[in-house]
Amino acid sequence: MKQMVPGEPLIQFNDVHVGFEGGDVLRGISFQVEPGETKVILGESGAGKTLLMKLAAGLLRPDSGKIWVMGHELAEMPEKELLGFRRRIGFVFQEGALFDSMSVADNVAFRLREERVDEMEIDSRVREALRFVELEGAVELYPAELSGGMRRRVSIARALVDHPPMVFYDSPTAGLDPVTSQTIITLILRGRDLQEVTSLLATHRVQDAFGLANYRFDSVAGASSPPAEMAPARACRPPTCWSCVTAGFISKGRPRMSCARRMRT
């Protein structure tokens, strides 16, 4: 597996086009995601947000344009290499996508067992991941016994359990009430600010983008909070920003990039 070059973007789209029988869906999409950055893709239903994430995961190939992820040009990778590549990415799917017949612990451990990790280490890492999302007490419960917000938190624990360098969040707050949605955004902030996880997040909620752009996780208070001193919004690069977020607005397949970043003084 090719190694990343220091200073290279983790994700880079260059003039990507995708169309189906009904016409173009994505036209001329270009953006990049730096290490430690969160990129939020905003758009209404059917705009192509999930399609874009499938492209970044190598599940689909573009009609034209180039996509690089973690130093790989995805179009040049055979399927066998893509399988190994995807194991380095954490995924949080819409509605959580948990296995109903498995307990919370087994859902979180699923990926580790697929990789044949030692059972003692699995137990330790599962408890660590559930502690991170504040669900250590739910180890033996099943998805049917959980609320919608709890299921989403288990999904985040499953995505983070093997410490991936990058996580894709597909509408992680969809269908949740405002308070629970903020809990999910706080967990994403926590992963970004404490574990330096690079994220690509698709959502239709403007509140999610502004929450990620304007807040950081306060490890002392154990909650999200705005930085003590904030300068006017302007472009920035890691590691000088509290929260590096660029919101990409997709409307009818045409990208419009808008800066939603704030610098600390």
Taking each helix axis from N to C end, the angle separating 178-195 and 206-214, rounded to the nearest 10 degrees, works out to 40
- Confidence bin at 15 (pLDDT 50/70/90): very high
| Domain definitions of the chain by residue range | 34-44+82-244+256-264
pLDDT at 8: 84
Q: Which CATH class is domain 34-44+82-244+256-264?
A: alpha beta
Q: Which residue has the higher pLDDT, 201 or 262?
A: 201
Q: How far is CA 184 from CA 29, 188, 247, in A?
A: 28, 6, 18
pTM of this structure: 0.78
206-258: per-residue pLDDT in tens?
888 888 877 666 655 555 555 444 333 333 333 333 333 444 444 444 444 33
More confident residue, 36 or 6: 36
Cis before 6 (ω within 30): no
Spatial CB neighbours of 192, under 8 Å, sequence gap ≥ 6: 36, 38, 199, 212, 217, 243
